[in-house]
Amino acid sequence: MQVAIVLYPGFTSLDVIGPYEVWGRLPDTEVVFVAERPGLVVNDLRSLSVNVVAGFGDVPNPDVVLIGGGPGQTEQMSDGNLHEWLRRVDGASAWTTSVCTGSLILAAAGVLTGRRATSHWAALEHLAEFGVTPSKERVVIDGHYATAAGVSAGIDMALTLAGLLVGDDVAQTVQLIIEYAPEPPYHAGALESAPARVVESAMEKLSTRFPSR
């Protein structure tokens, strides 16, 4: 099984590295990072880069496709080589997946039209602009599409998909290996539980990236 993880400048690291840590441990699985322009691709914090050796033409038939989000997502919304590749590989992939605002890129490419999907809470409403039904669920499965909410939800999605691909026992073994048993020190990880002042602060920081309609 081949998993293709798409990178672009300004990607959020955990969006893609979380699922990589899960899927890279599955039996008989090759994970390849792919980009429109191979080479060093720098993340949104501009302090981590991945040396991508594969271009779109090098990965024509992946079994699983993943695209994450990040501030660089806004530059990937116009139709072009990335969208063309996503549509092409989506036609044959077993699963097409996203984390965070990666679902907006899939939606803009037209592959999620008429589907349910999720995204980062601050961007969720924008899915409807592309004919996609927004869902507040942390992980959404609709057909052969698996979308995850913001950033850390990618680990949940990857484990969910691992169970569907190779069975619950293998998925749980990976979960134990990576010791994924979150016990956050705060209850501020969702709009419903975060204090009002924290919500206000987060919305202020994200306002330029996710303007309200």
Catalytic positions, please? Answer: 100
Coil/strand/helix, residue 87: helix
Residue 174: which residues within 8 A CB-CB, separation 6 or more? Answer: 22, 25, 26, 159, 162
How far apart are the C-alpha atoms of 176 and 179, rounded to whole Å?
5
HEC string of 143-201?
CCEEEECCCCHHHHHHHHHHHHHHCHHHHHHHHHHCCCCCCCCCCCCCCCCCCHHHHHH
> What's the token pair of residue 134?
């927004």
Phi (first) and psi of residue 20, to 5 degrees: -60, -40
| CA pair distance 2, 28, nearest whole angstrom | 9
Q: The tokens of 207 are what?
A: 């306002």
103: which 2 tokens?
């679902």
How far apart are alpha carbons 144 and 95 in whole angstroms? 5
